[in-house]
Amino acid sequence: MTQHDIQEPAKEILPPCQAACPIHQDVRDYLFALAMGDFDRALELIKESNPLPSICGTICAHHCEDECRRHDVDQPPSARALKRFAVENSAVKVPPSGVEPGSAGKVAVIGGGPSGLTAAYDLVRQGCAVTVFDREPYMGGAVRHYIPFYRLPDGAIDQDIDEIAEQGVEYKTGMELGRNLSVEQLQKEGYQAVLIALGLPVSHGLKIPGVEGDGILYALDFLKRVKRDNFSFEGSPTVIVVGGGNVAMDVCRSAVRSGAAKVKVVCLECSEEMPAFPWEIEEAAEEGVEFNNSWGPHAIIREDGKIKGLELIECTCVFDENGRFNPTYNQDSKKIVSGDLIIFSIGQGGDPAPLKGQVDLDERGRVVFDRKAMSTSRPGVFACGEMVTGPGTAVQSMKDGRVAAQAILAYLRDEPFDRDLLFEPTPLEKLQTDVADKITRIDRHAVPMINPAERVKHFKQAELGYDAVTAINEARRCLSCLAGAERIEELCVNCLTCVRVCPYDVPIVNVDGTVTIRSEQCQACGLCLSICPAYAIKFLTPMVDEAANAIEPAVTELLKGANSEPAVLAVTCGYGAFALPEVLGYKEANLAVVRYPCVAKVDTLHLLKAVEMGVDGIVVVGCKEDAKAACPHKDTVGWIEKRIGHLNALLEEMGLGDSRISYRELSFAEIDNFGQILKEAAEQFKELTPSPLR
């Protein structure tokens, strides 16, 4: 079983971003890959746990960012936008699972939204023959039909849908449960398990005076008509949108684009309590939407049957002392908001009609559902998604589909299953103040967007996305939680060197004189790693070992083609300008390039190994801060220069000269001349006697 396949969530402590993500996306490592310019590796890591990366890269609620430890410093990296960048700058595909198709059973999934698609993907990779049925002409569910084009173009959805099909999932559209599809029919056709993964397609309204008659619309129907039927208003009406959630923001922004002269939002919550995401509210306000907070609909005002406005009553409190929705009103405080049309966007519900006769329903028309087993009243029939969880984000639905797939696999294998016995990871603790205060503040890079005056004219995607320079620098802001230093107890002699050099005071001296490296607080700069005299420190991730292990093959290849020119090894930073595609592809005879995740992590033994193999010279190239980038690590240059000075003195004692290793810095402004600068740096080695160790 690979990471692509279904597995229990990890039991160990994880970075808070990964623990917070419902599908436990490896955020830290794909950001690291992007920061190093390895866009293919970034997308490969994303796809190990995420079958809908294009959709998530475009509209994910990014729960990972909510728990990021960079909140203790400034702002979290824009993980969602960086996922989109990886998707748009790599063509990496998920490799076949290698499991024989159909070997694990035959499964039907009813509903082609994020939950059903995720379950289908996981099941097919475990050897199930999977068919997804959906009543619509295209797969995608709510994200396909209700999320506006300016947020989610069809192309992003199609990319994910197509790749899931490449894994072997079959799609059948125009198939509606209760009309031309039934559970009984599927079971007769040999489907050993059926998963019902329906959403919440019914918009709620309010029974208030004046609601009967023309001029009343409902959120989901409106959004679908706008997206699929090119609906537009006649006569430039003033539109009142009732509701303060994310769907309401989609409604009001779509109304602006559909010809409304003015859009007014009415919601019970004050601005701080609105359930919509802050960025959705901000973007709606930028587009001219008017907000009426802390007011509730009381009556619709009509004249001659036509809507003239909405009478509002002041809402003094939305929730009671137990945190339950139970609004209270000031009966003496009312006002009228003028308008011609009203769109209700106050929540969604399920449609029980298709489910009648398929599985048992309760008195409210909801599926009788065993959450622990993910099962319905009918043997072999399971359920997942918003129809059983209630409203949520797309990635939360994906998690529910993943759990349902695990339940189905257990059923097909005749094994027990209990959702509550699945282990969830423990998030890493918060940054301690003494460490957070020392971390370099680096402003978050805003995701470029079309300006509001222009974007309201059309439904083109409003968010433009990062370019390579911005994406690399934004990814570099990641704190690399749990990727850094760890003390090897049996080697440590408690010399306190790490305590002296760490710019973040992560190593501490205990009362008995021993040292503890607080790995959970480490910022992975690498200074302690490369200066520990006992080599008693290692990194928790392989980033340094991978770079060090690249030196020997690079030098071997370099020396194979060596001519009369000096054979030079360039050890460069891998971040910033050095991660740009044009630099990654640089090649030159007599020059080998090995990239490190910051040259502060270069150990003297790594460089001595290259000298021992016979290189004539080594140039270590660090990154210089400029207007485009800021190095997140502190005090690195001074230690690098000291290390190089020590090495040259050692080589002088060995009779190899005192200038075989040099240090240079490059900025983004100089990166176009990367090759020329390296050549100039290599020129100095012409004056030296060729290495006698070659």
Are 51 and 182 members of one domain? yes
Confidence grade of residue 532 (pLDDT, cut at 50, 70, 90): very high
Supply angle C-alpha 611, 612, 616, rounded to 5.
Answer: 35
Residue where a domain stops, chosen among 290, 316, 347: 347
Confidence grade of residue 11 (pLDDT, cut at 50, 70, 90): low
Q: 408 Cβ partners below 8 Å, 6+ apart?
A: 107, 119, 123, 128, 193, 195, 374, 382
Q: Identify the pLDDT of residue 628.
A: 59
User: Which CATH number goes with the domain that contains 641?
Assistant: 3.40.50
Which pTM does this prediction carry? 0.93
What does the mean pLDDT of the chain come to? 92
Do the bridges between strand 295-303 and strand 290-293 make them parallel or antiparallel, or are there none, so unpaired?
unpaired
Task: Kindly report the backbone phi and psi dihedral angles of residue 126, in degrees, each rounded to the nearest multiple of 5, phi listed first.
Answer: -100, 10
CB 671 within 8 A of CB 629: no
Q: Identify the pLDDT of residue 627.
A: 52
pLDDT(507) > 90: yes
Classify residue 258 by its DSSP letter. Answer: T
Does residue 479 belong to any structural domain of this protein?
Answer: no
Does residue 469 belong to any structural domain of this protein?
Answer: no
Are 361 and 300 members of one domain? no
User: Which CATH number goes with the domain that contains 342?
Assistant: 3.50.50.60
How many other CB atoms sit within 10 Å of the CB of residue 418? Answer: 12
State both tokens at 161.
């849908």
Are 188 and 275 members of one domain? no
Tell me the one-letter amino acid at 492: C
- Tell me how far apart the alpha carbons of residues 421 and 419 are, in angstroms, rounded to a whole number: 5
Are 176 and 212 members of one domain? no
Which residues pair with residue 626 across a beta bridge? 629
Does residue 489 belong to any structural domain of this protein?
Answer: yes
Q: What is the pLDDT of residues 63-110, one digit of tens each?
A: 999 999 999 999 999 999 999 999 999 999 999 999 998 999 999 999
Confidence grade of residue 503 (pLDDT, cut at 50, 70, 90): very high
Are 238 and 166 members of one domain? no
Of 221, 381, 210, 383, the closest CA to residue 298 belongs to 210
The stretch 590-610 carries a mean pLDDT of: 90
Does residue 273 belong to any structural domain of this protein?
Answer: yes
Residue where a domain stops, chosen among 469, 503, 538: 538
The stretch 210-215 carries a mean pLDDT of: 94
For every residue of 64-118, DSSP letters joined together read: HHHH-GGGGTS----HHHHHHHHHHT----PPP--SPTTTTEEEEEE--SHHHHH
Does residue 451 belong to any structural domain of this protein?
Answer: no
CB 583 within 8 A of CB 538: no
Of 513, 521, 471, the closest CA to residue 494 belongs to 513
- Give the number of domains in the chain: 4
For every residue of 409-437, DSSP letters joined together read: HHHHTT----GGGS--PEEPPPPPHHHHT
Residue where a domain stops, chosen among 347, 370, 403: 347
Which residues pair with residue 317 across a beta bridge? 328
Does residue 457 belong to any structural domain of this protein?
Answer: no
Tell me the one-letter amino acid at 452: P
Q: Which domain holds residue 587?
A: 543-687
Does residue 427 belong to any structural domain of this protein?
Answer: no
pLDDT(5) > 50: no
Does residue 212 belong to any structural domain of this protein?
Answer: yes
Q: What is residue 575's three-state secondary structure? A: coil
For every residue of 381-403, DSSP letters joined together read: EEE-SHHHH-S--HHHHHHHHHH
- Tell me how far apart the alpha carbons of residues 32 and 580 are, in angstroms, rounded to a whole number: 14
The gap from C-alpha 101 to its chain's centroid, in whole angstroms, comes to 30
State both tokens at 165.
């099909």
User: Which CATH number goes with the domain that contains 526?
Assistant: 3.30.70.20
Rg (CA), the chain: 30
Are 166 and 222 members of one domain? no
Q: Identify the pLDDT of residue 314.
A: 97
Tell me the one-letter amino acid at 537: I
CB 463 within 8 A of CB 497: no
First to last CA, the chain: 45
For every residue of 660-687, DSSP letters joined together read: SEEEEEE-GGGGGGHHHHHHHHHHGGGG
Are 180 and 36 members of one domain? yes
Q: Identify the pLDDT of residue 564.
A: 76
- Tell me how far apart the alpha carbons of residues 361 and 128 are, in angstroms, rounded to a whole number: 28
pLDDT(9) > 60: no
Are 358 and 331 members of one domain? no
CB-based contacts of 550-556 (< 8 A; 24+ apart in sequence): 550/594, 550/595, 551/594, 551/606, 551/609, 551/610, 552/609, 552/613, 554/592, 554/593, 554/594, 555/592, 555/610, 555/613, 555/614, 555/615, 556/613
Are 276 and 381 members of one domain? no
Are 239 and 376 members of one domain? no
Are 357 and 275 members of one domain? no
Cα dihedral across residues 509, 511, 514, 517: positive or negative: negative
pLDDT(6) > 50: no
Do the bridges between strand 202-203 and strand 348-349 make them parallel or antiparallel, or are there none, so unpaired?
antiparallel
- Tell me how far apart the alpha carbons of residues 222 and 220 are, in angstroms, rounded to a whole number: 5
Q: 220 Cβ partners below 8 Å, 6+ apart?
A: 146, 201, 202, 203, 247, 348
Lowest-confidence pick of 78-82, 243-247, 681-685: 681-685
Q: Identify the pLDDT of residue 2.
A: 42
Are 680 and 623 members of one domain? yes
Of 339, 344, 346, 337, the closest CA to residue 318 belongs to 346
- Tell me how far apart the alpha carbons of residues 200 and 220 are, in angstroms, rounded to a whole number: 10
